[in-house]
Amino acid sequence: MSHPTFAGLDLSALAGATLAFDLDGTLVDTAPDLVGTLNVILQEEGHAPLPLEDGRPFIGRGARFLLQRGFSAAGAPIADEAMPALFERFIARYNAHIADESRPFEGVVETLEALAAAGSRLVVCTNKRTDLSTNLLDALGMSGHFAAIVGADQAPAQKPDRRHLETAIARAGGAVDRALMVGDAAPDAGAARNAGVPLVLVSFGYTEIPVADLAPDELIHSYLDLPAAALRLLTACPARNDAL
């Protein structure tokens, strides 16, 4: 049965298709807890906090980069030998506060429900560690929407390497020729292009490069626009019939 929000769409054409989602900045607004963790550590070290909006674009580059960015902004760049201990402090504190303020973006849950009801396969393909990704989605009650959660540690290489996306699609039981990538930044765009998979980008995520400059096949400003975008892209590439 179609979700009431998408009553005007025939989503049956998405049955069997695989939609791979980035996590931070795509499914969930995690910036408050990530930058918040950075700021706790900065303050413990006697430095000024980093404004949330200054930290948001760099979240996709990982915790080490975010730490370096925050400490550099405070006038105290991190020495190479000091990074491992700071990184471990960051991960421990973040994991303990992983969903204090992080929330799914508006429209995410009903969109995932509608796609799943239509028979789509949903998978998370994130450069975030799998344990942290699973902990976050568990805390938000979202894990059950996905056939698999594939962090960079569960793939041969991380996005933008195509093998990360290919691994995620395979873990969901899908096929690359009947899949698309939903993301917010350059690693997602690169993975999709390298794998030959259609690309949907959201306009409200975390990116250093203006999202339009990444030339997505579809740029959406609301999750409620995703099913229609997926229909346009995936009905243009019907499933392969290997029996022929």
Give the catalytic positions in this structure. 22
Q: Is the peptide bond before 227 cis (omega within 30 degrees of 0)?
A: no
Q: DSSP assignment of the chain, as one string?
A: ---GGGTTS-GGGGTT-EEEE--BTTTEE-HHHHHHHHHHHHHHTT-PPPPHHHHGGGGGG-HHHHHHHHHHHTT-PPPGGGHHHHHHHHHHHHHHTTTSS-EEPTTHHHHHHHHHHTT-EEEEE-SS-HHHHHHHHHHTT-GGG-SEEE-GGGSSS-TTSHHHHHHHHHHTT--GGGEEEEESSHHHHHHHHHHT--EEEETTS--SS-GGGG--SEEESSGGGHHHHHHHHHTTSPPP-TT-
Residue type present at position 53:
E
Residue type present at position 216:
P
Strand-pair category, 199-202 with 179-183: parallel
Cα gap 240→79, rounded to integer Å: 52
Neighbours of 36 (CB within 10 A): 19
